[in-house]
């Protein structure tokens, strides 16, 4: 019995599509941080990444009046005893779950997504 062979070009194309889908996280929208958004974040949690989170929330169109809470999750490299990533969990009024802003160790935004039933502005 002969086994079918996939042409090398088709296999390479499929691999390229798989890798592109896995490795392409769109950067979050950013804008100069709204001072009211930054103040709302500062009231909920003191963190040096608050200005970057405010920049992402402002870019996404989330106003200060929608923010009811904030907490940070950290990811630490235990071998070097350093923080390597932050997740800012932003809780919004009248929504379950949270909007999460992922930042690198220097507070540069990586991604923005919704969890637990929260919705981003413009999402269906």
> What would the pLDDT profile of 61-115 be if each residue is shown by its tens digit?
999 999 999 999 999 999 999 999 999 999 999 999 999 999 999 999 999 999 9
pTM of the full structure: 0.78
Delineate the domains of the chain, giving CATH numbers in brackets. Answer: 35-115 (3.10.450)
Strand partners, 100: 89, 113
Average pLDDT score, the chain? 85
Kindly write down the DSSP assignment for every residue of 4-66, as one continuous string: P---HHHHHHHHHHHHHHHH-PPPPP--SPPHHHHHHHHHH---TTHHHHHHHHHHHT--GGG
Long-range contacts of 11-15 (CB under 8 A, 24+ apart): none
Query: Cα–Cα–Cα angle for 98, 102, 107, nearest 5°?
Result: 130
């Amino acid at each position: 019995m002969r086994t079918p062979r996939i042409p090398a070009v088709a296999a390479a194309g499929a691999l390229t599509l798989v890798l592109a889908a896995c490795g392409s996280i769109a950067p979050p929208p950013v804008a100069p941080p709204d001072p009211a958004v930054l103040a709302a974040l500062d009231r909920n949690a003191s963190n040096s990444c608050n200005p970057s989170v405010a920049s992402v929330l402002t870019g996404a169109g989330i106003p200060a009046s929608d923010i009811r809470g904030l907490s940070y999750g950290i990811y630490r490299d235990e071998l070097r005893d350093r923080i390597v990533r932050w997740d800012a969990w932003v809780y919004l009024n009248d929504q379950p779950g949270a909007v999460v802003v992922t930042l690198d160790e220097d507070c540069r935004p990586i991604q923005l997504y919704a969890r637990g039933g929260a919705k981003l502005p413009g999402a269906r």
